[in-house]
């Protein structure tokens, strides 16, 4: 990590001491993604700093003080998703991460380390780890630090309390004793020991050391005032209605003959190309179209062709590259789950929601399906759920979307699972409780217009809170706590004058003035 102080996303602050903003995390996310696809020979990744005696000062305070509330929220959410992707690479891709802390790791810098498997701290009498947000800035660690301390590293809650309220942090043997780090290494042996640990990790991987990586070519997209166009995804924006329509095009190419042929196709492979383009579209809408509150998801193409690609991915999931394509789909679908927009899936002829694409239907807040055929057309809509809905693409709560949909309803879950691998008509999908409602050609347009207009009339804040609460029934996991509990509290804290007001901690930082707090506990 060697952050250019002048490389920030917006003017008005410098990214000194390896502090970071959204632009830095976009690069980190890209690096994590490319290591998975382009470097199958890599079994271990070392995160370290190019600066002397400074690992990372975390999220840039000047950025946080000057950023709008939506930018702060988007920054925290994307950064959380990137940290989760590192853990995902460790858990599912056999690519383990090690952090070599050669200098102060504060705030988000230490949170980055917390996302990795093994934390090594240089023992030089001065290097520390810290989460100083509460005493220093009046906010919370924004990328999972609180949750990972107690849920991942099992730091005792009273020690975590002390750690999170000590501005200068904790170093040396105390950091090791409290399990804040995994290993303490003297400066004289640091380089050698980091290399030893990384090689130990690399030897445990199942990644092929002689496979050829798949280069993630630059996405081709065209952005105009009301349209974003990719090769497989089109986004049409209606700002007056606060609606964007996302249309997914099914494959025109045939399924590869085997996994090596898929790797030869590379990033042009339809499921991979679509996943990357859909992910990019979602992030664009999140960051740049804040008033677009409802996303309508369409698909068009051959449902049999999509199902064939889905079957190919699952039948070759033992191959490192095919596995990565499936894991990318898992992350993109999680991005849908975690995005503060209303998702409505519209299944109408000639839709091709099958396999991993049908998971978009289950991920939507509501699903409407066209009953029968359009005028002068015999084609009818069908839905096809496959093994993509039975475990491979689980949500942040470690449940499938069917298990989540029917949480506490075993009868409903069994009925839905019986429909797996069976093309469903509108009536059958409604009977299996896999869609919200069905409309024929007489009612389709009017019903959807009313639904969309009603949604646009509600409070965006209330909808965001409602959807986030409803999407994750069932047990909590590390991820759901970070994205739900932490995000909710941080959103609230960021909006309070104690943090973001004119005399709040973020704006007072660096001025020499003490923040002026409203001391009421509310």
Give the C-alpha separation, 396 to 357, whole Å. Answer: 18
Q: What is the pLDDT of residues 95-129, one digit of tens each?
A: 999 999 999 999 999 999 999 999 999 999 999 99
| Mean pLDDT of all residues in 359-374 | 96
In DSSP terms, which residues pair with 106 in a beta bridge? 130
Q: Which has the closest alpha carbon to 136: 504, 460, 484?
A: 504
- Residues 465, 386 share a domain: yes
CATH of residue 26's domain is: 3.90.226.10
Give the C-alpha separation, 485 to 342, whole Å. Answer: 20
Q: What is the pLDDT of residues 219-228, one digit of tens each?
A: 999 999 999 9
More confident residue, 434 or 490: 434
Q: Above 80 in pLDDT, residue 296?
A: yes
DSSP 243-298: EEEEEEEPP-SPPPSSHHHHHHHGGGSHHHHHHHHHHHHHHHHHHH-TT--EEEEE
- Residues 436, 369 share a domain: yes
Q: What is the extent of the structural domain holding 75?
A: 16-202+494-508
Neighbour-count burial for 105-119, b at 16+ CB within 10 Å, e otherwise? bbbbbbbbbbbbbbb
Question: If you compute the radius of gyration of the chain from its CA atoms, what whole number of angstroms results?
Answer: 24
Q: Which has the closest alpha carbon to 396: 483, 486, 329?
A: 483
- Are the C-beta atoms of residues 15 and 21 closer than 8 Å to each other? yes
Q: Which has the closest alpha carbon to 143: 70, 85, 93, 92?
A: 85
Q: Above 80 in pLDDT, residue 144?
A: yes
DSSP code for 33? H
Residue 522, in any domain of the structure: no
- Residues 269, 140 share a domain: no
Q: Phi first, then psi: give them for residue 210, nearest 5 degrees.
A: -120, 5
Q: Which has the closest alpha carbon to 345: 418, 456, 437, 269?
A: 437
Q: What is the pLDDT of residues 233-248, one digit of tens each?
A: 999 999 999 999 999 9
Neighbour-count burial for 135-145, b at 16+ CB within 10 Å, e otherwise? ebbbbbbbbbb
| Whole-number pLDDT of residue 22 | 96
When divided into structural domains, the chain yields a total of 2
Give the C-alpha separation, 64 to 56, whole Å. Answer: 16
Residue 7, in any domain of the structure: no
Confidence of residue 377 (pLDDT cuts 50, 70, 90): confident
Give the C-alpha separation, 275 to 495, whole Å. Answer: 34
- Residues 501, 357 share a domain: no
- Residues 191, 280 share a domain: no
Q: Which residue has the tokens 């701290």?
A: 121
Q: State whether residue 351 is helix, strand or coil.
A: coil
From residue 233, alpha-carbon distances to 251, 273, 277, 281 in Å are: 11, 10, 7, 8
Percent of the chain's residues with pLDDT above 70? 100
Range from 306-310, 348-352, 483-487 carrying the lowest mean pLDDT = 483-487
The structure tokens listed for 456 are: 């646009």
- Residues 451, 315 share a domain: yes
Residue 211, in any domain of the structure: no
- Are the C-beta atoms of residues 409 and 363 closer than 8 Å to each other? no
DSSP 437-490: EEE-TTTHHHHHHHHHHHHHHS-HHHHHHHHHHHS--S---HHHIIIIIIHHHH
Give the C-alpha separation, 215 to 196, whole Å. Answer: 29
- Residues 340, 286 share a domain: yes
| Whole-number pLDDT of residue 53 | 93
Q: What angle do CA 61, 495, 8 make, to 5 degrees?
A: 30
Residue 370, in any domain of the structure: yes
| Whole-number pLDDT of residue 378 | 81
Q: State whether residue 509 is helix, strand or coil.
A: coil
> Taking all residues of the chain, what is their mean pLDDT, rounded to a whole number?
96
From residue 290, alpha-carbon distances to 61, 64, 69, 282, 475 in Å are: 23, 18, 11, 12, 31
Q: Above 80 in pLDDT, residue 376?
A: no
Q: Above 80 in pLDDT, residue 375?
A: no
Neighbour-count burial for 292-324, b at 16+ CB within 10 Å, e otherwise? bbbbbbbbebebebbbebbbbbbebeebbbbbb
Range from 25-34, 209-218, 287-296, 374-383 carrying the lowest mean pLDDT = 374-383
Q: Phi first, then psi: give them for residue 135, nearest 5 degrees.
A: -75, -30
Q: What is the pLDDT of residues 392-401, one digit of tens each?
A: 999 999 999 9
Q: Which residue has the tokens 């998703």?
A: 81
| Whole-number pLDDT of residue 361 | 98
- Are the C-beta atoms of residues 258 and 268 closer than 8 Å to each other? no
- Model-level pTM? 0.96
- Residues 174, 35 share a domain: yes
Neighbour-count burial for 231-251, b at 16+ CB within 10 Å, e otherwise? ebbbbebeeeebbbbbbbbbb
Q: Above 90 in pLDDT, residue 491?
A: no
Residue 174, in any domain of the structure: yes
- Residues 266, 122 share a domain: no
- Are the C-beta atoms of residues 355 and 384 closer than 8 Å to each other? yes
Residue 486, in any domain of the structure: no
Confidence of residue 274 (pLDDT cuts 50, 70, 90): very high
Residue 521, in any domain of the structure: no
The structure tokens listed for 234 are: 């089109």
Question: If you count them, how many residues does the chain have?
Answer: 522
In DSSP terms, which residues pair with 31 in a beta bridge? none
- Residues 182, 245 share a domain: no
From residue 341, alpha-carbon distances to 79, 86, 242, 281, 472 in Å are: 18, 25, 11, 13, 15
- Residues 235, 197 share a domain: no
| Mean pLDDT of all residues in 167-186 | 97
The number of C-alpha atoms within 13 Å of 482 and in the hemisphere containing its C-beta is 29
The structure tokens listed for 191 are: 């380089």
| Mean pLDDT of all residues in 258-281 | 98
Residue 11, in any domain of the structure: no
- Residues 340, 247 share a domain: yes
Q: Above 80 in pLDDT, residue 71?
A: yes
């Amino acid at each position: 990590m060697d952050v250019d102080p002048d490389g920030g996303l917006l003017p008005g602050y410098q990214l000194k001491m390896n502090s970071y903003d959204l632009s830095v995390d976009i690069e980190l996310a890209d690096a994590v993604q490319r290591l998975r696809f382009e470097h199958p020979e890599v079994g271990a990744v070392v995160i370290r700093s190019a600066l002397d005696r400074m690992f990372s000062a975390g999220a840039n305070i000047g950025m946080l003080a000057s950023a709008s509330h939506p930018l702060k929220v988007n920054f925290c959410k994307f950064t959380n998703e990137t940290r989760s992707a590192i853990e995902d690479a460790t858990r599912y891709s056999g690519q383990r991460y090690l952090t070599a802390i050669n200098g102060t790791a504060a705030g988000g810098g230490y949170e980055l380390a917390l996302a990795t498997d093994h934390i090594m701290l240089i023992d030089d009498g001065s290097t520390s780890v810290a989460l100083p947000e509460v005493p220093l800035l009046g906010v919370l660690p924004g990328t999972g630090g609180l949750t990972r301390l107690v849920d991942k590293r099992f730091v005792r809650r009273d020690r975590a309390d002390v750690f999170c309220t000590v501005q200068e942090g904790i170093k040396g043997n105390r950091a090791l004793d409290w399990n804040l780090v995994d290993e303490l290494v003297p400066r004289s042996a640091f380089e050698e020991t980091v290399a030893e640990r990384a090689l130990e990790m690399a030897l445990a991987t199942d990644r092929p050391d002689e496979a050829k990586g798949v280069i993630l070519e630059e996405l081709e997209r065209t952005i105009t005032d009301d349209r974003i166009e990719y090769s497989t995804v089109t986004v049409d924006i209606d700002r007056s209605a606060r609606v964007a329509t996302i249309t997914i095009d099914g494959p025109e190419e045939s399924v590869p003959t085997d996994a090596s042929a898929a790797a030869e196709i590379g990033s042009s492979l339809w499921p991979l190309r679509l996943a990357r383009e859909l992910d990019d579209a979602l992030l664009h809408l999140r960051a740049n179209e804040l008033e677009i509150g409802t996303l309508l998801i369409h698909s068009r193409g051959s449902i049999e062709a999509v199902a064939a690609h889905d079957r190919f991915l699952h039948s070759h999931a033992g191959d490192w590259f095919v596995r990565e394509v499936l894991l990318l789909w898992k992350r993109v679908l999680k991005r849908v789950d975690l995005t503060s927009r209303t998702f409505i899936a519209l299944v109408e002829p000639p839709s091709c929601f099958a396999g991993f694409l049908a998971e978009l239907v289950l991920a939507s807040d509501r699903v409407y399906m066209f009953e029968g055929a359009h005028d002068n057309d015999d084609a009818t809509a069908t839905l096809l759920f496959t093994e993509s809905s039975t475990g491979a693409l689980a949500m942040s709560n470690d449940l499938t979307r069917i298990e989540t949909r029917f949480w506490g309803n075993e009868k409903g879950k069994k009925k839905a699972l019986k429909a797996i691998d069976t093309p469903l008509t509108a009536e059958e999908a409604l009977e299996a409780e896999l869609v919200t409602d069905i409309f024929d050609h007489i009612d389709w347009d009017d019903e959807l217009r009313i639904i969309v207009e009603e949604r646009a009339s509600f409070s965006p804040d209330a909808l965001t809170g409602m959807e986030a609460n409803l999407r994750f029934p069932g047990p909590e996991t590390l991820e759901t706590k970070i994205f739900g509990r932490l995000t909710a509290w941080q959103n609230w804290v960021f909006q309070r004058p104690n943090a973001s007001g004119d005399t709040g901690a973020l704006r007072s930082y660096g001025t020499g003035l003490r923040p002026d707090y409203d001391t009421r506990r509310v």
